[in-house]
A and B are shown apart, each in its own frame.
Chain A
Amino acid sequence: MIGEDVDQEFKDLFVEDAAIRLDRMSEQLLELERSPGTAELLTSLCREAHSLKGAAGMVGFHDVASVAHALENPLQEVLLGEREVDGTLVDALLAGVDGLRAVVAVSPADPARAARSAVEVIARLAAIAVPKGSPAVRPADAVHNVPAAPISTPRPVEVATMQIALERLDEIDRVVGESAAAHLRVGRLISEEYDADPESVAEYRELARLLTALQELTIRARMVTLSTITPNLHRAVRDVARAGAKKVRWIVDGGETEIDRKILELLLDPLIHLVRNAVDHGIEKPAERLAAGKPAEATVRLTARQRGSEIVLTVADDGHGIDVARVKAAAERSGMDVSGLSDRDVENLIFTAHVSTATEVTEISGRGVGLDVVRANIERLRGRAEVSSRPGQGTEFTVTVPITLAIVECLLVESGGQRFALPIASVLSLLPREAREQRVAGQPMLTVGDSAVPVSDLASTLELGEPDAGPIVVVSGAHATHAFRVQRLVGHRDLVIKGLGGLLPRIGALGGAAIEPDGSIVVVLDPDGLIESARGARSVGPATPRAPVQMPTIMVVDDAITVRELERSILERAGYRVRVATNGQEALGLLQSEPSDLVLTDLEMPVMDGIALTETIRKHPSMGRTPVVILTSHDSDAERRRGLEAGANAYIIKSGFDQQRLLSAVEQLLLGGRS
């Protein structure tokens, strides 16, 4: 079992995740009381209990798993029509949820007390069992017949908010930074004065943990909800609609989504541009809409949701869609070769400078600024912008940005004796030092996937002297791909990146800097600037298309954050690149924009479950052969058969889960797929 040696962070993550699920269950139970016949509510409640059980088992909280199981039973009975929903049942289930909350709360620190509490909660739930006698439930390692102290069940209070001056937050950031530095000094003191490894001192480790938590909290304190800017967008929609004599309904979905205040500020302009564009170019006049059989009033909908460490925003209208032929014509006029491009690719050309400015510029949304500027602004936030449209039905712009700019996963390399960080998102692949270069018209090139990519050495590009002769990092910028030889690879690191500040001029290849745990500073390279520097003096060659990713990428799909993060950490430690999704549909969306080499999915999830996901992948023309591994808490033969029949390549059970089994299954499937 993995449970015993699970990192503390996953236990913490579980506690956080469980709190959200339990709140949701309480709400759903209250709703169930009002409308007892709702099957959806029941399935959702069962799923929450089930997910809790699975995640608890994985982090080794077996008492929590037992209580979750005991909660699941009566719900199953209702679902099967064996019992009615009444006040007594809802009372008992609510008490059970509160009891489970208490068990979760004490599990990390006091397992014995958790076990006692679990026995009591389970006993109370068993008391309401239907007479025919449901299977006896007992906690896995619980001490029996111990009269426990009454469990306190703190209810969450409503979220209270207060305003705080930004300078104060900055001040807190600074002090947190100073504390981290002081912590390192204490570490040095311990090793110098007492000749001891600071990491062996429990108090020192505890302080480190607290400081990290504090740092995360300060980052979280900078988050604001999307709804802080939606009034501005609503106003823009209204103004443009009035000016064009159009009727538009404005809808916001996910206004409560949280995002870094700085990013949101920088997103405002691009979003305003997109909604104005939607009303002005996308939506028809009322008469035209009526003639097309659409309601006179059009809809512009802004949706926002979190997907892993990213926020996905869409601006969708139900207007006439993008005129692909016209975009094509505009692109051709500006000298582009559009033959062989799909309609989707053509649509996305509206983000390129010549095309966006060549299409009709109206006084309202055009203002001489094209969608190319929108895209550039979003890319500056390490985000991306895409568009898709259906003729006659509407256009949807999708903007994806990181939740916070602060923490970026980076690859650390050494060049010219100095360490540098590269945002991992820009690293296409890594090649061994032996990779063969070939000189083409004086420029060393090498093959990456199907394309030839120019190679430079990082030290020379950065004017650091002696050329590097080590392994190769293939870097993909917004417009070009370039390979760099480095001295050596150091590893992965999550870095809190800071800008270089206003006192310094912009230095092309450099994007920022971050402080390493030992107090040293690592310079973060800017992929686009770096590529530009490398190509600088030379004649600029044609931009190479994005080559396929070489490091195996695994898509992890699970609605429980604990499971997701646990799997992510195991896989990343083994060297894989990992992307995550919370349900099948989200996973499909991500896979369609960029395929993964393997999919690891849970079975039961909201929106789209693992079976449906597996089936959809199998039927898909291009990713039909992607290996799928199902990891679930169901261990019945029927479920296993269902999973394998849907086309899964492997089926792993959470309760018997160990890292090695997962890794060897993944490794075998990846090797099989490549041969």
Chain B
Amino acid sequence: VEVLFLQVDQELYALPMGFLREVIAQPRVTRLPTAPAPILGLVNVRGEIVPLFDVAALLGTGRIPTTAFAVVIEIEGVRAALAASVVPESGEVDQRAGEARQSEARGVYSHGDRFATLLDPAATLAGAHR
């Protein structure tokens, strides 16, 4: 599967390429006060106001310390952005290595000598409502 690798702190996530729209470096993030932790704020993507999420917080694996990149995705015509700690790289996940701990993820895949959690963006973002 063609994916974009998204590193949040030390963890690696894989985003199926079909969802990707663009990547913004050093995004200007507007905080949303009183919002739940996984909602980092809003970013201006070419005149559109897009919410920025912390995948790690959504999946309950931690918190991103600082947002270096915003990966803009589109799910059924709606845009959202996912925060990343280092520059996201495209690649392929080869081998399914096991189940993910979270039901919102599609599983754990190996990528060279590392493992990445393959994301189901729609299911993951639905977590922001809980």
A contact set with B: CB distance below 8 Å: 174, 176-182, 416, 418, 462-464, 498, 500-505, 507-510, 513-515, 519-523, 533
User: Which chain B residues (7-31) contact chain A, with CB distance < 8 Å?
Assistant: 28, 30-31
Question: Is B100 at the interface (CB under 8 A from chain A)?
Answer: no
Residues in B whose Cβ lies below 8 Å from that of A501: 49, 51, 78
Minimal Cβ-Cβ distance residue in B for A419: B30
Question: Is B61 at the interface (CB under 8 A from chain A)?
Answer: no
When chains A and B are docked, how far (Å) is the Cα of A513 from the Cα of B80? Answer: 15
- Is the CB–CB distance between A513 and B39 below 8 Å? no
20 CB-based A-B contacts, threshold 8 Å: A500-B32, A503-B128, A504-B32, A505-B129, A507-B32, A507-B34, A509-B33, A510-B34, A510-B35, A513-B30, A515-B44, A515-B47, A519-B28, A519-B44, A521-B28, A521-B30, A521-B44, A521-B49, A523-B42, A533-B34
Question: Is B119 at the interface (CB under 8 A from chain A)?
Answer: no
Residues in B whose Cβ lies below 8 Å from that of A510: 32-35
- Is the CB–CB distance between A507 and B128 below 8 Å? no
User: Which chain B residues (105-130) contact chain A, with CB distance < 8 Å?
Assistant: 125, 128-129
Minimal Cβ-Cβ distance residue in B for A464: B33
When chains A and B are docked, how far (Å) is the Cα of A515 from the Cα of B36? Answer: 22
Minimal Cβ-Cβ distance residue in B for A179: B47
From B28, B31, B128, contact of A504 by CB (8 A)? B128
- Is the CB–CB distance between A504 and B51 below 8 Å? yes
From A178, A418, A463, contact of B46 by CB (8 A)? A178
- Is the CB–CB distance between A177 and B48 below 8 Å? yes
Minimal Cβ-Cβ distance residue in A for B41: A521
Closest CB pairs A-B (n = 5): A177-B47, A462-B33, A521-B30, A181-B47, A178-B46
- Is the CB–CB distance between A463 and B44 below 8 Å? no
- Is the CB–CB distance between B46 and A181 below 8 Å? yes
Residues in B whose Cβ lies below 8 Å from that of A513: 30, 42, 49
A-B pair number, CB within 8 angstroms: 81
Q: A510-B32, A523-B32 are in contact. Are A500 and B47 (CB under 8 A)?
A: no
- Is the CB–CB distance between A181 and B44 below 8 Å? yes
Q: A178-B46, A181-B44, A181-B47 are in contact. Are A505 and B128 (CB under 8 A)?
A: yes
- Is the CB–CB distance between B78 and A503 below 8 Å? yes
When chains A and B are docked, how far (Å) is the Cα of A510 from the Cα of B35? Answer: 9
Category for how many chain B residues contact A:
20 to 34
- Is the CB–CB distance between B47 and A463 below 8 Å? no
Minimal Cβ-Cβ distance residue in B for A175: B47
- Is the CB–CB distance between B31 and A418 below 8 Å? yes
Residues in B whose Cβ lies below 8 Å from that of A500: 32, 42, 49, 51
Residues in B whose Cβ lies below 8 Å from that of A179: 47
B contact set with A: CB distance below 8 Å: 28, 30-36, 39, 42-44, 46-49, 51, 78, 80, 125, 128-129
Main secondary structure of the interface of A (DSSP, over half): mixed
- Is the CB–CB distance between A507 and B78 below 8 Å? no
From B28, B34, B129, contact of A462 by CB (8 A)? B34
Minimal Cβ-Cβ distance residue in A for B48: A177
- Is the CB–CB distance between A504 and B30 below 8 Å? no
From B49, B128, B129, contact of A498 by CB (8 A)? B49
Shortest Cβ distance from B29 into chain A, in angstroms? 9
Residues in B whose Cβ lies below 8 Å from that of A507: 32, 34-35
Minimal Cβ-Cβ distance residue in B for A513: B49
When chains A and B are docked, how far (Å) is the Cα of A378 from the Cα of B51? Answer: 28
- Is the CB–CB distance between B34 and A509 below 8 Å? yes
- Is the CB–CB distance between A515 and B49 below 8 Å? yes
When chains A and B are docked, how far (Å) is the Cα of A219 from the Cα of B55? Answer: 35
When chains A and B are docked, how far (Å) is the Cα of A182 from the Cα of B45? Answer: 11
Minimal Cβ-Cβ distance residue in B for A508: B34
When chains A and B are docked, how far (Å) is the Cα of A507 from the Cα of B42? Answer: 13
Q: A501-B78, A503-B51 are in contact. Are A463 and B36 (CB under 8 A)?
A: no
Best-buried of A463, A498, A507 by chain B (most CB within 10 Å): A507
When chains A and B are docked, how far (Å) is the Cα of A501 from the Cα of B42? Answer: 11
Shortest Cβ distance from B85 into chain A, in angstroms? 22
Shortest Cβ distance from B118 into chain A, in angstroms? 20
Q: A501-B51, A503-B80 are in contact. Are A522 and B30 (CB under 8 A)?
A: yes
Shortest Cβ distance from A214 into chain B, in angstroms? 12
- Is the CB–CB distance between B32 and A174 below 8 Å? no
Residues in B whose Cβ lies below 8 Å from that of A521: 28, 30, 42-44, 49
Residues in A whose Cβ lies below 8 Å from that of B51: 500-501, 503-504
Shortest Cβ distance from A283 into chain B, in angstroms? 45
Minimal Cβ-Cβ distance residue in A for B46: A178
When chains A and B are docked, how far (Å) is the Cα of A498 from the Cα of B46? Answer: 14
When chains A and B are docked, how far (Å) is the Cα of A674 from the Cα of B46? Answer: 50
When chains A and B are docked, how far (Å) is the Cα of A501 from the Cα of B129? Answer: 12
Query: Apart from A505-B36, A519-B28, A522-B30, what are 5 other A-B pairs with CB-CB below 8 Å?
Result: A504-B35, A504-B128, A508-B34, A519-B44, A533-B34
When chains A and B are docked, how far (Å) is the Cα of A416 from the Cα of B51? Answer: 21
Residues in B whose Cβ lies below 8 Å from that of A176: 47
Shortest Cβ distance from B10 into chain A, in angstroms? 26
Residues in B whose Cβ lies below 8 Å from that of A505: 36, 128-129
When chains A and B are docked, how far (Å) is the Cα of A53 from the Cα of B33? Answer: 53
Best-buried of B30, B80, B125 by chain A (most CB within 10 Å): B30
Shortest Cβ distance from A187 into chain B, in angstroms? 14
Minimal Cβ-Cβ distance residue in A for B31: A418
Residues in A whose Cβ lies below 8 Å from that of B42: 500, 513, 521, 523
Best-buried of A510, A522, A523, A533 by chain B (most CB within 10 Å): A523
When chains A and B are docked, how far (Å) is the Cα of A505 from the Cα of B32? Answer: 12
When chains A and B are docked, how far (Å) is the Cα of A494 from the Cα of B45? Answer: 21
From A178, A418, A520, A533, contact of B47 by CB (8 A)? A178
Minimal Cβ-Cβ distance residue in A for B125: A503
Shortest Cβ distance from B128 into chain A, in angstroms? 6
- Is the CB–CB distance between A463 and B48 below 8 Å? no
When chains A and B are docked, how far (Å) is the Cα of A501 from the Cα of B52? Answer: 12
Residues in A whose Cβ lies below 8 Å from that of B80: 503
Shortest Cβ distance from A66 into chain B, in angstroms? 45
- Is the CB–CB distance between A523 and B30 below 8 Å? yes
Residues in A whose Cβ lies below 8 Å from that of B46: 177-178, 181-182
- Is the CB–CB distance between A502 and B78 below 8 Å? yes
Shortest Cβ distance from A100 into chain B, in angstroms? 40
Residues in A whose Cβ lies below 8 Å from that of B33: 416, 418, 462-464, 509-510, 523
Residues in A whose Cβ lies below 8 Å from that of B32: 500, 504, 507, 510, 523
Minimal Cβ-Cβ distance residue in B for A507: B35
Residues in B whose Cβ lies below 8 Å from that of A418: 30-31, 33
Residues in B whose Cβ lies below 8 Å from that of A181: 44, 46-47
When chains A and B are docked, how far (Å) is the Cα of A523 from the Cα of B129? Answer: 20
Residues in B whose Cβ lies below 8 Å from that of A462: 33-34
When chains A and B are docked, how far (Å) is the Cα of A503 from the Cα of B128? Answer: 7
Residues in B whose Cβ lies below 8 Å from that of A177: 46-48
Residues in B whose Cβ lies below 8 Å from that of A519: 28, 44
Residues in B whose Cβ lies below 8 Å from that of A180: 47
